[in-house]
Structure 1
Amino acid sequence: MLRYYSYKGCGTCRKAKKWLTESAVEVEEIAIRETPPSIDELKLALKSGLTLKALFNSSGGDYRELGVKDLLPTLTEQEALEMLHSRGNLVKRPFLVSSKGALAGFKLAEWEQFFL
């Protein structure tokens, strides 16, 4: 089953969910703020080709509040993953995880290719 992490107030998440529904892709929807992705799911995203930087929601308030832009270069991979796991608002959303990999953010072409 695909795990789809989203935030109800996020317009991009709503667009992605609409596309998933129209494409008949069934997902387990999870509220990202209440239940952030696990460390293993975040590691899978890195193995899928995403960078640590790409996993962070750089336009979010938490990102600015914590000064992540300046912190990120000094963090180890494990520290960055733990930060993401501890605060769902830091994770780029929507965040989708399957057995074949992960996606962060919604770019239609990437999602179409992922589901081919």
Structure 2
Amino acid sequence: MDQLKFFSYPSCTSCRRTKSWLKEQGVQFKERHLFKETPDKEELTQILSLTTEGIDEILATRSKEFKSLEVDINSLTLNEFIDLVMKKPKLLKRPILTDGKKLVVGYDVEGLHSITKHKPDWTFKIS
């Protein structure tokens, strides 16, 4: 099973809440700063393939970045959309978690339970 990837931004409240929940549950994850380590084309394609609502599920339509766009998102091809997001990662909702098979966007406890239920941390420390 792939390791859980956690794309976050430190000042994002939903990201901090999600990270706290993951740690409380003992879930192992690899955190990546969404703006400094933006998902590459392959990762974005995979993320999009896991959505149930397409780009609407991962697009931060209330963000300043989105509102300042001078392009109709719906007129873009998939490759054009991915290129745009790679250049402007603030267009993505935060956080984004994926294990390669499931996707959770935002702070969603039900989704977190779903994506982590088979990932308990069975490391015990004996003192």
Q: Which TM class, normalised by the smaller chain length?
A: 0.7 to 0.9
Shift of 1:19: 0.7
Shift of 1:67: 4.5
Q: Taking structure 1 as reference, are residues 97 and 113 closer, same or farther at Cα in structure 2, changes over 3 Å only?
A: closer
User: Which 5+ residue runs of structure 1 have no aligned equivalent?
Assistant: none
Which contiguous aligned blocks of 4+ residues in structure 1 show a shift greater than 3 angstroms?
none
- Tell me the secondary structure at the aligned position of residue 104 of structure 2: strand
Which is greater in Rg? 2
Instruction: Tell me what 1:74 maps to.
Output: 75
- Aligned residues with identical type, % of pairs: 25
- Out of 9, 20, 23, the residue aligned to residue 21 of structure 1 is 23
CA contact (8 A) 2:51 2:57 kept: no
1:89 aligns with 2:90: yes
Higher helix share: 1
Shift of 1:7: 0.8
Q: Taking structure 1 as reference, are residues 67 and 114 closer, same or farther at Cα in structure 2, changes over 3 Å only?
A: farther
Q: How does 1:1-116 map to 2 (within 5 A)?
A: 1-50=3-52, 51-67=54-70, 71-116=72-117
C-alpha root-mean-square deviation of aligned residues, in Å?
A: 1.6
User: Which 5+ residue runs of structure 2 have no aligned equivalent?
Assistant: 118-127
The amino acid of 2:50's aligned partner reads S
Q: Decide which moves more: 25-34 or 5-14.
A: 25-34
The amino acid of 1:5's aligned partner reads F
User: What TM-score, normalized by structure 1, do the two folds share?
Assistant: 0.87
